[in-house]
Structure 1
Amino acid sequence: MKCMLIILTATAISFATGKGEVLGKNETFASHICSKFFYRQNEPMGLSQQNSARICQMYDYNGVISPYFASLYDRDRRMPLYSAYVFKTVGKGKRPKKWMIEPQLAFANLTKCMAGEGVVPDRKQLITSQAVNDDYKKLDPRYNRGHLNPRGHQNTTESRRATFTLTNIVPQTVISNGKWALYESSIVNISKYYQCSEIFLVTGVIPTKINPNERVNIPSHMWSAYCCVDQNGMPIRNGAALISNTVTPILQNLSLQDLESMLHKVPFFANYIQIFYNRCKKLI
């Protein structure tokens, strides 16, 4: 059955807290259909904020509704804090011209699938709840749309299209975006060299202070961590990377432990950071 648009009454207007693609305030990804995008079905610890929303990124492709990745979205900054996904292979194909939004961030009982902005009946509520296309069109030309889950890490038309939601991108400088592509390409080589059966990735950002003059927060850094496993789901290798979001970006390849230590020092996050279950360590 295709995703259906439910017409709202005035009493239904509220931020999304119901069942569907956007999880309830007290829900986690544990035992959720989108838990499969996390190593051992465990979401990261220490990254969630008081007003963040967990999104199971659902997409309707020719009437078939499927989850494609998971995101943690900062409602206050109108940006994702991370996206978690499973690397497939090198993806090719045309870039979609249209970007989607998350209807349930605006109204809990709208379609559970990412969709165009037109599905939200109240424009004011839409722009209050999340970033919209106009926000990115008005960005300083030094910035473009930086994917957390890149289309190049997906291997089907539908999975690549699903990455084109505004809840999966942040403002990233053009130069930083170009250098970050080097890290994304390295995942392909890691997969081949270590013969990974699957690679679980969590890619996120380090937010900056809320600027009332900015609709969408511009992060200071982007980071990513990977966990490569064999056909039995046992860890083979892990690693991470960090890049500054500037016009003179520095790309650092890090150990998973070093990345977690760096995030631990960021006041925005909790005192304890763990991106993967058991830190993706080999079981003895």
Structure 2
Amino acid sequence: MRLFVGSVICVLLALNFPGIVSKLENNITQCGDFFFQGKAPVFPEILNDSVTQNDSYEIICQTYKNKSRFATLYNTTNKIPIFSAYKYTYQTTNRLGQMGQLWMTESQLEPLGVEMSEPFVKQARNQDYWIKKNIYKYIPGALFPIRHAADNETAESTLTLTNSVPLKDDFRKGLWSLVENTTKEDMDINCRDNNNNIVAYVLTGAIPGNETLHNRVNIPSLVWTAFCCFNRTSLYSRGYWAENKPRNETEIDLKSLDDLQKFLRTNLQIEVQLFNNNCSVNASQLRPILNASECHNKCHPLLQYVTEFILYILQGISNMLVSTK
């Protein structure tokens, strides 16, 4: 972490205000392996070919302790993210709360210089959430949540206001917490890479609303989330969206990716594509069946026998074809 410099440093020191040292990039895929098949989502007029389409948006490679942890597309006018993208690899962190600290800010978003008269012109600050000191009507809701972080340092890196949107307290602690847990459980069960490790590519975002905090920070009307992953030899995806208001739910069913994208297209009036090829692949791109040597170690004995028999038959057919030429 580091603090702002120049004329702002005294203010931040007085507030004990932490900053996260991240990078602003022109191409969001340069942030790291946070996107399915290395392809960024498409939001026409906002993000296309991995590049922002106007000056209201910044690409933030969320870097913490010298490591890129996730990527955020940030709206500096509304002072909230469009989405955060990360790779879920199973949660091992024990940091499940907000750790009782001020949320971090992104120092590189601010136009430092002698002409700067007001800090936080492009991003939210902790005071934006105060009605009176330490009294909140809305709380910061991290799009990349702590409970999806792979380790403690990654969990800490999510506590930045550039990864957060104002959420109703009861909604954040109620329904949206349920969505995060249900999504996590689904990914733990259904997402596996070639080495049988849990891996999923996740996007979580917000749709701006018509209200603001202190005439500065947009309060989103809706939040949404989606993931795409391999499920053995096929692909698997799910999504969900909800209005930013409390609801009494104890159980939810995740939606299809197609339903979520239709919803976003209707509400945003643009042809959104969250994952490359809509989280689908050609048959030639699917992971191959285990070969005989791999199967020897990983397969049931009967499956091992069947695999070796099929390979024997295929080899015989190949030899026959060669001999007839």
TM-score (norm 2): 0.68
Structure 1 residues 4 and 153: alpha-carbon distance in aligned structure 2, compared to 1, 3 A threshold: closer
Q: How does 1:1-284 map to 2 (within 5 A)?
A: 21-23=23-25, 27-30=26-29, 32=30, 34-46=31-43, 48=46, 50=54, 51-60=56-65, 65-90=66-91, 91-93=93-95, 95-96=98-99, 97-107=101-111, 124-138=117-131, 141-177=136-172, 178-197=174-193, 198-209=199-210, 214-229=215-230, 236-248=235-247, 253-266=254-267, 269=268, 271-284=270-283
Does structure 1 conserve the Cα–Cα contact (< 8 Å) formed by 2:24 and 2:61? Answer: yes
Does structure 2 conserve the Cα–Cα contact (< 8 Å) formed by 1:35 and 1:43? Answer: no
Structure 1 residues 249 and 82: alpha-carbon distance in aligned structure 2, compared to 1, 3 A threshold: farther
The amino acid of 2:272's aligned partner reads: I
Distance in 2 between the 1:248 and 1:71 partners?
28
Distance in 1 between the 2:117 and 2:138 partners?
25
The amino acid of 1:126's aligned partner reads: P
Structure 1 residues 162 and 29: alpha-carbon distance in aligned structure 2, compared to 1, 3 A threshold: same
Does structure 1 conserve the Cα–Cα contact (< 8 Å) formed by 2:213 and 2:219? Answer: no
CA apart distance, 1:107: 3.4
* Aligned residue pairs, count: 248
- Structure ranking higher on relative contact order (CA contacts 8 Å, 6+ apart): 1
- The residue that corresponds to 1:113 in the other structure is none
CA apart distance, 1:7: 5.8
Structure 1 residues 43 and 126: alpha-carbon distance in aligned structure 2, compared to 1, 3 A threshold: farther
Q: Which residues of structure 2 form unaligned runs of 5+?
A: 8-21, 47-52, 194-198, 284-325
Larger deviation, residues 172-181 vs 158-167:
172-181
Structure 1 residues 170 and 195: alpha-carbon distance in aligned structure 2, compared to 1, 3 A threshold: closer
CA apart distance, 1:187: 2.6
Larger helix share, 1 or 2: 2
CA apart distance, 1:95: 3.4
Identity across aligned pairs (percent)? Answer: 28
What root-mean-square deviation, in Å, do the aligned CA atoms of Structure 1 and Structure 2 show? 3.0
The list of structure 1 runs, each at least 4 consecutive aligned residues, that deviate by more than 6 angstroms after superposition, is: 3-6, 120-123, 249-252
